[in-house]
Structure 1
């Protein structure tokens, strides 16, 4: 469930959806800990087991930092905070209120997924007491036992998104801003990465600006929520930016279609774009298997592009 990466960064598979799909991280420094993202409420036993495996007491965790408040990243924050008596929850100011009162967040997820699926997938979403919530700001530095973690505002996937720069590892904790990379698609050329345009705040120009800003730090690694640590960041940055442009071109081409036909065409177009990239990478995953692994992303990315086009 938890593995120890270099630099005191523990990668935790939250168990959401399938193995190696959704990660959160426990950063340990001089006997103190900080979580970055939490998975869902169902993930709680795995997160507490990671605290134990790292040799920490629950009171040794100082921070729970959510990159943004989508439920696969932050749905378990309230349940986790109840178990960590010393921790503060750090959230983007646009998202912090949803950690205190999650009803609007839940209603938004229900609109996308349906109420039954939200209950099944995410469990109870526990509010966090307001006095334990801290708003981030661009350029904020969180000190973890003398280890600085820099927060930068990174819109494009969501307006309530920030990423964390860790100078020690020369790595970014990216949430969803720098896309998705599933280990099943790795080849000798390295990982494949794709942008996520999940509803409802995909903004391609802002996303490209955020990615370029992160590349300006010359990171050596990215700690992705979906999934795990990847390196050779300049290559992934080029791949990410090029695919945002491809997605925009696809959406603009399909803009005139009526909504149901447009959604179907977006699904087909995205599948073709992904498959072309996988072929370039030398992936040996058969197309049907690849599309099964990407089924959730195809649906949500098509929805998000449609919302962007309508906006």
Structure 2
């Protein structure tokens, strides 16, 4: 916990330790979750409430940065345990929380019921009367502590970030990239963008990062994973890598083995940056930590290329992904 501002970091245990975080904010005896992981995380979330000295009736809000299932899959199950809570979500994400059938059906069709159960558990709806839509600039009070939300597309069109005035910090979901503690060095945190399928938009992501930086934040709270500081350096790293990654994507477009080429080139990019950063792990260790994200970023870049091609031909705004996204990454 970051005691000065009563921000509790909860490891949801999705995929591995220290990969996926939810946060519990506490102020004047009231609580709010920001992201919640999958339904498998429910015991940890309830334990965090007790550890904070609260009862379940003291939780006022469950705030979702976006509705990808590693962030929001457990929202319905959590809400059933919180009698006074309301769910705050982006306007594009709200329908999928009220009726998650589309998300569940699409992911199950790709991965099957067994994998869905293993990774995400039960995905249940949230009653529409308990859902609050957070348009750009939406504000709320947590026991007198002001939180506000801004629309931050780029990773997904249903993404928002949450500003906490008390800690002068952002809760960034996936907009401010991924930073794993295994890759920290004497220089601080190491970071990469996430272009997960299917709505990566580089120009929008650049603009969203700049909106976050406009408030000169003291810290960023990432879902993947934890609190990072030195936001100006990290933002510059993200901007540079977004440009490098889109250049890689264009160079690989048209290749018969495009996906494999993307994976190899992204791995090389991140290894070069990790060595320059002074990461303590060897190359194999860095690639092991980033393996899933390299795969997802390759898929996201492929979707971006294909969507641009479809738009050029006048075939609509979103092409089908050329590779398989992780469950729950679909186009809300």
> Which of 185, 188, 198 is 1:187 aligned to?
185
**1:112 and 1:290, CA in 2 relative to 1: closer, same or farther beyond 3 A?**
farther
Q: Any conservation in 2 of the 1:5–1:11 contact (CA below 8 Å)? A: no
> Which of 279, 283, 295 is 2:279 aligned to?
283
> Which of 17, 28, 34 is 1:30 aligned to?
28
Match of 1:132 in 2: 130
Return the structure number with greater relative CO, CA threshold 8 A, min gap 6. 2
Match of 2:65 in 1: 67
> Which of 41, 44, 61 is 2:42 aligned to?
44
Structure 2 counterparts to residues 203-222 of structure 1, below 5 A? 203-222=201-220
Task: Give yes or no for the alignment of 1:305 onto 2:305.
Answer: no
Structure 2 counterparts to residues 212-251 of structure 1, below 5 A? 212-251=210-249
TM superposition outliers: structure 1 runs of 4+ over 4 Å? 111-115
CA distance in 1, matches of 2:110, 2:251: 24
Alignment size in residue pairs: 307
CA distance in 2, matches of 1:178, 1:115: 32
RMSD over equivalenced CA pairs, Å:
1.1
Please give the TM-score of this superposition, normalised by the length of structure 2.
0.90
CA distance in 1, matches of 2:2, 2:47: 13
CA deviation vs aligned residue, 1:220-268 (integer Å, no higher than 9, x gap): 100000000000110000001110000010001111223xx00000000
Match of 2:330 in 1: none
Q: Any conservation in 2 of the 1:67–1:161 contact (CA below 8 Å)? A: yes
SS of the counterpart of 1:24? Answer: strand
CA distance in 2, matches of 1:47, 1:182: 21
Match of 1:150 in 2: 148
Report how far residue 107 of structure 1 moved: 2.9
SS of the counterpart of 2:60? Answer: strand
CA distance in 1, matches of 2:245, 2:280: 24
Report how far residue 117 of structure 1 moved: 2.1
CA distance in 1, matches of 2:273, 2:111: 28
Structure 2 counterparts to residues 41-190 of structure 1, below 5 A? 41-110=39-108, 113-190=111-188
Report how far residue 6 of structure 1 moved: 3.0
Q: Any conservation in 2 of the 1:32–1:144 contact (CA below 8 Å)? A: yes
SS of the counterpart of 1:128? Answer: coil
Please give the TM-score of this superposition, normalised by the length of structure 1.
0.96
**1:304 and 1:158, CA in 2 relative to 1: closer, same or farther beyond 3 A?**
same
Match of 1:252 in 2: 250
Structure 2 counterparts to residues 266-277 of structure 1, below 5 A? 266-277=262-273
CA deviation vs aligned residue, 1:75-123 (integer Å, no higher than 9, x gap): 0100100000000001101001111111111233345655432221000
SS of the counterpart of 1:294? Answer: helix
Report how far residue 25 of structure 1 moved: 0.3
Report how far residue 289 of structure 1 moved: 1.7
SS of the counterpart of 1:174? Answer: strand
CA distance in 2, matches of 1:239, 1:127: 38
CA distance in 2, matches of 1:212, 1:138: 15
SS of the counterpart of 1:165? Answer: strand
SS of the counterpart of 2:17? Answer: coil
